[in-house]
């Protein structure tokens, strides 16, 4: 795994620290019933997820998963799972002090098991060289 660039004197920075040595990636999409690929990490890159979110309104009970898939593709883990009930608006937003590392060839996917649910979800991260 690649290491994240660290400033030698982090105390001097106030607010947003410069020098992340990567490209900012913001992706969002909508899912109803099924799976939507939000992003696949390109070759020789590492994605560092700092923030992710989802919100929606349910017409039926269901489950939404924000998951990581490898290159096979096989589900290697859930970042989170939300269970929702009929006629409820809901939302989740998570920030990470230490980012989640997603390696080359892996993808972030939204998986919904319910028809009639409009879910908007996305993430913000930094794409760095490996």
Tokens 């290697």 map to which residue?
Answer: 76
Q: Report pLDDT for 6.
A: 56
Would you list the domain boundaries of the chain?
A: 21-129
CATH topology of domain 21-129: Jelly Rolls (2.60.120)
Burial class (CB in 10 A: 0-12, 13-18, 19+), 25: middle
| Close Cβ partners of 15 (under 8 Å, ≥ 6 residues apart) | none
pTM of the model: 0.78
Residue 75 reports pLDDT greater than 80:
yes
The answer to whether the beta carbons of residues 64 and 122 sit under 8 Å apart is no
Average pLDDT on 73-79 reads 91
Q: Report pLDDT for 14.
A: 53
Highest mean pLDDT range out of 7-11, 12-16, 25-29?
Answer: 25-29
The answer to whether the beta carbons of residues 46 and 130 sit under 8 Å apart is yes
């Amino acid at each position: 795994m690649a290491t994240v660039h660290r400033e030698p004197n982090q105390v001097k920075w106030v607010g947003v620290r410069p020098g992340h040595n990567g490209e900012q990636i913001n992706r969002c999409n909508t899912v109803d019933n099924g799976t939507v690929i939000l992003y696949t990490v390109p070759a020789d890159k590492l994605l560092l997820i700092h923030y992710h979110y989802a919100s929606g309104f349910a017409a039926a009970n269901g489950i939404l998963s924000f998951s990581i898939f490898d290159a096979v593709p096989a589900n290697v883990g859930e970042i989170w799972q939300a269970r929702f009930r009929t006629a409820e608006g809901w939302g989740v937003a998570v920030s990470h002090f230490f980012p989640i590392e997603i390696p080359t060839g892996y993808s972030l996917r939204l998986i919904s098991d319910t028809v009639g649910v409009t879910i908007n979800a996305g993430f913000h991260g930094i794409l760095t060289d490996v």
